[in-house]
Structure 1
Amino acid sequence: MPVQYPEGIKAPNFQKLKLVPFPDQYTHYLGENHFQFLNLKQNFKEEINWNYLGHGKLWAYHLNYFDYLHQPEMEWETGKALIESFLQDPQNRPEGMDPYPISLRTINWIKFFSKHDRYPQEIVDSLYGQYQVLTKKLEYHLLGNHLLENGFSLLFGVVFFQDEKLIRLARKILKAELKEQILEDGAHFELSPMYHVILLQRALDGYNLLIHNNNELQDVEQQLKEVIQKMVNWLYTIMFSNGDIPMFNDSADGQALEPKIILSYAQQFGFTPKNIELKESGYRKFEAGDFEIVADVGEVGPNYQPGHAHSDALSFVLYHQGKPIIVDRGISTYEKNQTREEERSTASHNTIVVNGKEQTDVWGGFRVGRRAKPVIITDGEDHLKATHTGYDYLGINHIREWKINDHEIVIRDEINGGNKESVAYIHLHPDIKPVKIEEGVFKLKSLILTHENLTSSAIEKYSYCTGFNKKKDASCLKLTFDKEFKTHIISN
């Protein structure tokens, strides 16, 4: 049975909050009950349907998050009217009263109150009622970023209402999950750079709240301070010089704010970013001459929650002169369909497919079965060598080695054992139009790609994701070989 919204509840006393300015969100409310999320528009005209599923559940969730309260030029009266529309019948909000949207919405409402220094009692009462629902629906069944978002929401409820029950829950969840979910090198353990940015912003909002308002959570504040510095350093290290992040695993444009905006927000509180040595996340960043490359030699994510993982062992992305050249295609949907399976598949990443098989079984939208476990062999400043267990069930072993200098990157692939047909995929940014000079030799603007021990090569089309439900045509190199294969990427 779903937990019912408690009607007629009265909130306890609350304290007006102080928050230093936080970043604006993207514009999703277009006025007159017209919204756009995930690159899909919907005009409700007379009355907002808060349960609208015509664009899928994720779209409905975004409608109920209320992030748009913090878009540029959102006025108090407009935001208040949207909140009141939601509150006309909170008992009949099945999508909005799921714990994840409750968590984001309660944070957004409290931030909106603080920004305008207005606290309508009826809305405050409803806010407290929503916290009563959340405490009974905490997402221990999903864990991961969902439970952490529950914890951050409770943190805002704690400081706003000074409620003892919320204090116990917030402390319990945040202390445990921050320790569990933020790796030693600072990455969020689901290994999606997009979710890392989203959760770093949430952590900064929580820190903003704690240092500027009365509370009894100094231990959580100290833990947040340490965690945020690690997360800032990881983001600063992995992002490219133009401010992009690699779109590994479930990452898409238009969801998280730009990393530079979040790093600027962090600097307001004294978190100065610095380059670090990437370790536990399994990502490795190399910079040499005009080359920037990030390689993925990490695991699929936490064993008990790999839902945002892809089959991408030993994949990589490459920027040259500050521009994307070889890219991860990203994602365009969370729906359980063929597109979702394809975007998570081995062939959609810059790695090797052997005998047409997957390194890791990804299925059902957010499911992972048998999974590849990478093993790092050499981990140096300009040299990385690794293998993985993804083809052990075929009696086959794939080893990949990267060597980087100012003028050239050399990638060597070795396939050992079994009957094999190996294909290397290289996905190019839509702005890159490859020119085949001769067999195994391609020109990519300012770069030349040459290949040794090539059996055949082809330029194929693929769909590069520029956000949810938004794609561009782009080119992919499909390169077949037998046992050993070498790629030279040369600055022209």
Structure 2
Amino acid sequence: MSKLGTALLYWHTLKYLRARQVFGRIWLRIARPRVDGAPAAPRRGTSGRWVTPARRPASMTGPESFLFLNEPGDLDALGWEGPQRSHLWRYNQHYFDDLNAEGAAERLSWHHALMQRWIAENPPATGTGWDPYPTSLRIVNWIKHALTVADLPREAQQSLAVQARWLARRLEWHLLGNHLFANAKALLFASFFFEGREAERWRRRAVSILRAQLPEQILPDGGHFELSPMYHALAIEDLADMVNLIAAFGTAATPAEAALARDFAARLPGMLEWLDAMSHPDGRIAFFNDATFGIAPATPRLKEYAHRLGVAAVPVRDGLIHLEDTGFARLERGAAILICDIGNVGPDYLPGHAHADTLSFELSLGDERVVVNSGTSEYGLSAERLRQRGTAAHSTVLVGAENSSEMWSGFRVARRARVDNVATAETAEALSLCARHDGYSRFPLGPRHTRRWRLDEDRLTITDQLEPSAAGEARYHLPPGVAATISGPETGTIRLASGRILNWRANGASAHVEPSTWHPGFGMSQPAQCLAVSFSGSVTFDLDFS
């Protein structure tokens, strides 16, 4: 890329940042806060009921061995730092999620020994484990463990105070979003766990951040503003945890904190409904933006947790649901579930978890996924990470092998597709949805892409149009076990894992089947197929369920 091209790439990325992010990054680089090792204040006793949080699968496979991101590792061999594992794997090593995982009480001796080893081998403010995000998650996990399973060892309680003091000086204003929310949640947990004026300062800071961020991050349709079903599920866990916390320390909560807990609880039903709308009949999330299985607690676990807190989930209705604020739609007719992305890539100042997946969709028939997006198997700066974020890895239209939004690096977006002309219709005969984006208009003579979905009882019809006319490729990614065949230039079949046969036709186009991959978890890449339909100007694709 030329120097001018690089300069433009940076300009189209940085121009969206908020001043707080810019100054926050400068502060993070130049500030050198001191480590405060003063004795921890006494622990505060609970005055209310703490309920068991949502559980994840265990990630410790032995006293000093782990399974993170579907990749095993041994502490003696790998230590706490180093390039033998990815940065995200190292982060997971410092989270201590296993303290609150399934069967945690049975591993109590492992957990307390690991805490003591972490304290001994990770001096304050040194290494990956003291980055603000893993520090935030570890603070919450240690306190949840103390409230659910067993008291912390004495040295762990002292370390917890040091960690909270350090975090209070290293809040992630340069990132905002889910990172800042996690920072504030951790300070809130520490502020209730400890007594004293220091804890009161943490609480005032946490409440101030949470009150400001809650209406910005949780949109009126119930969705999380980063537009990832996976991060949305994590946000549900965050709010439920804080409802749980404030109830457990009820007499210590001020009226403002009690009101905040009521606000959290009031938002949870809508958030659970959004999660259901963005999930398939198999009960698991659809893959839009950074999303995969195994990171957030499973949906049934979140619903059970909400129920223990007295929050009832509202069943998602059938028909057409337009999630206007987050830019998604769900169409349900008979056994067919269609989930469509008809929104922008995310908050302009925070598109780090976005993919170039505008006007993509996923389809299920009964419990079987038929058309999917490819998912996410890694973070970082690799070519594979960039490929998974690209348009070609999603079930939408590709023009000239370009991305509809300008993805670069691991978490950067320059010029972004904008969606308009959204229209919905629901009749007795069919459900219809239409939207247009301008992502390709950044190129000379680049077209706008309009996509129309029509879902009947026994058929899905998709019409793609490029204006001005251009060559395009509509890509339909299939999950493992689902296979496409071509019987003619415009016709073929899709065989589901159950053996069911669907017939397809692409009028005025030519199709081919190419190898692809599906990524249902970090560290996972499963062979799959993509049905690619090449066309000029417009094409209608019919998929017959009958």
Tell me the alpha carbon deviations over residues 266-319 of structure 1, each in whole angstroms, 9 at most, x when there is no partner: 122232222374221111001111110001001100000000001111100000
Tell me the alpha carbon deviations over residues 170-203 of structure 1, each in whole angstroms, 9 at most, x when there is no partner: 1111111111101110110000000111121121
- Structure 2 distance, partners of 1:288, 1:257, is 28
Residues 154 and 8 of structure 1: CA distance in aligned 2, closer, same or farther (over 3 Å) = closer
2:376 is matched with: 331
**Percent identity at matched positions?**
31
2:6 is matched with: none
Residues 3 and 82 of structure 1: CA distance in aligned 2, closer, same or farther (over 3 Å) = farther
**1:394-433 equivalences in 2 (<5 Å):** 394=443, 395=445, 396-417=447-468, 420-433=470-483
| Pairwise CA distance, 1:5 | 6.9
* More moved, 349-358 vs 381-390: 349-358
Q: Which of 108, 117, 133 is matched with 1:76 structurally?
A: 108
**1:270-285 equivalences in 2 (<5 Å):** 270-274=310-314, 275=316, 277=321, 278-285=323-330
- Structure 1 distance, partners of 2:97, 2:416, is 35
Aligned alpha-carbon RMSD (Å): 1.7
Q: Which of 265, 288, 292 is matched with 1:225 structurally?
A: 265
* More moved, 94-103 vs 37-46: 37-46
Contact 1:296 1:314 (8 Å CA) reproduced: yes
Which amino acid in the other structure matches residue 42 of structure 1? G
* More moved, 124-133 vs 439-448: 439-448
Contact 1:297 1:376 (8 Å CA) reproduced: no
Contact 1:252 1:330 (8 Å CA) reproduced: yes
Alignment of 1:27 with 2:72, yes or no, is: no
2:5 is matched with: none
Which amino acid in the other structure matches residue 406 of structure 1? E
Alignment of 1:450 with 2:505, yes or no, is: yes
1:474 is matched with: 528
Q: Which 5+ residue runs of structure 2 have no aligned equivalent?
A: 1-29
Which amino acid in the other structure matches residue 205 of structure 2? L
Question: Matched residue of 2:353: which SS?
Answer: coil
Which amino acid in the other structure matches residue 492 of structure 2? F
2:437 is matched with: 388
Contact 2:58 2:103 (8 Å CA) reproduced: no
2:18 is matched with: none
Contact 1:5 1:91 (8 Å CA) reproduced: no
Q: Which runs of 4+ in 1 moved over 4 A?
A: 1-5
Question: Matched residue of 2:164: which SS?
Answer: helix
Contact 1:248 1:328 (8 Å CA) reproduced: yes
Contact 2:486 2:512 (8 Å CA) reproduced: no
Q: Which of 115, 119, 122 is matched with 1:90 structurally?
A: 122
TM (norm. structure 2) is 0.86
- Structure 2 distance, partners of 1:436, 1:390, is 30
Which amino acid in the other structure matches residue 259 of structure 2? D
Contact 1:32 1:45 (8 Å CA) reproduced: no
1:145 is matched with: 178
Contact 2:472 2:536 (8 Å CA) reproduced: yes
Question: Matched residue of 1:475: which SS?
Answer: strand
Contact 2:36 2:165 (8 Å CA) reproduced: no
Which amino acid in the other structure matches residue 110 of structure 1? I
Tell me the alpha carbon deviations over residues 20-68 of structure 1, each in whole angstroms, 9 at most, x when there is no partner: 112222221111311111111112337x722243111111100000001
2:19 is matched with: none
Contact 1:50 1:60 (8 Å CA) reproduced: yes
Contact 1:377 1:386 (8 Å CA) reproduced: yes
- Structure 1 distance, partners of 2:121, 2:284, is 42
Contact 1:9 1:126 (8 Å CA) reproduced: no
Q: Which of 175, 178, 182 is matched with 2:218 structurally?
A: 182
1:249 is matched with: 289
| Pairwise CA distance, 1:392 | 1.8
Q: Which 5+ residue runs of structure 1 have no aligned equivalent?
A: none
| Pairwise CA distance, 1:16 | 3.4
Alignment of 1:168 with 2:204, yes or no, is: yes
* More moved, 145-154 vs 120-129: 120-129
| Pairwise CA distance, 1:7 | 5.9
Alignment of 1:64 with 2:94, yes or no, is: yes
Question: Matched residue of 1:87: which SS?
Answer: helix
TM (norm. structure 1) is 0.96
Which amino acid in the other structure matches residue 227 of structure 1? R
Residues 61 and 4 of structure 1: CA distance in aligned 2, closer, same or farther (over 3 Å) = farther
1:353 is matched with: 398
1:191 is matched with: 227
- Structure 1 distance, partners of 2:162, 2:400, is 56
Alignment of 1:43 with 2:74, yes or no, is: yes
Alignment of 1:209 with 2:245, yes or no, is: yes
1:365 is matched with: 410
- Structure 1 distance, partners of 2:387, 2:520, is 16
Question: Matched residue of 1:219: which SS?
Answer: helix
Alignment of 1:296 with 2:346, yes or no, is: no
Tell me the alpha carbon deviations over residues 59-85 of structure 1, each in whole angstroms, 9 at most, x when there is no partner: 110000000112233332221111000
Which amino acid in the other structure matches residue 120 of structure 2? Q
Which amino acid in the other structure matches residue 12 of structure 1? A
- Structure 2 distance, partners of 1:392, 1:52, is 43
**Greater helix share, structure number:** 2
Contact 2:221 2:324 (8 Å CA) reproduced: yes
